[in-house]
Amino acid sequence: MVLSAAMGALALALPVAFHAAGLGSRFLPMLLPLLVNGYLSRWPWAVATGFGIPWLSAFATGMPPLYPPIAAVMSLECAVLAATAAATSRLPLPLSVALAVAAGRATALAGTWAAAAWLELPPGFASLAMLVQGLPGVVLQLIVAPLAVAALRRRGGLLLHETDLV
């Protein structure tokens, strides 16, 4: 629970820092600590943190926005990202991270498609724009998450959920 809280706090702070530096959401700063949390915490905590942090951030900072329903889409994306990381953590780390990122982005794609259709916007264009806009963040996740998790594994003792998946 403490690790999830720490990763959640980082997921709240990083977007504010990225926006202050003019980097905005292109680097998907909220997702990085929530992805790493999937490897650090027991899976129910990781998923709950992933689901809740976008809502908490939306109400506390206005990012991501509640309308259009970006917070709702991100909430699902972050939960799926953390769940996939936890479920695939026994695979080779680069493969596990790639699967988690792909599952999260697929969820975001489906959510954006549905939200755009609901708002009577062109869903194909909105979904493609969301995917392209987040490519720098995907690259960041694929590089930083395995390095961070591997460093924590070398230090030992922080990866609790590997024996708690059932």
Domain residue ranges in the chain: 2-159
pLDDT digits (tens, 9 = 90+) for 28-80: 999 999 999 999 999 999 999 999 999 999 999 999 999 999 999 999 999 99
CATH 1.10.1760 at 2-159, yes or no: yes
pLDDT interval class at 162 (50, 70, 90): very low
What pLDDT sits at residue 153?
81
First-to-last alpha carbon distance for the chain, in angstroms, is 18
Model-level pTM greater than 0.85? Answer: yes
pLDDT digits (tens, 9 = 90+) for 80-103: 999 999 999 999 999 999 999 999
Question: Of all residues in the chain, what percent carry a pLDDT higher than 70?
Answer: 93
Cβ proximity of 76 and 111 under 8 Å: yes
Residues 104-128, mean pLDDT to the nearest whole number: 97
Cβ proximity of 86 and 40 under 8 Å: no
The values of phi and psi at residue 2, to 5°, are -65, -40
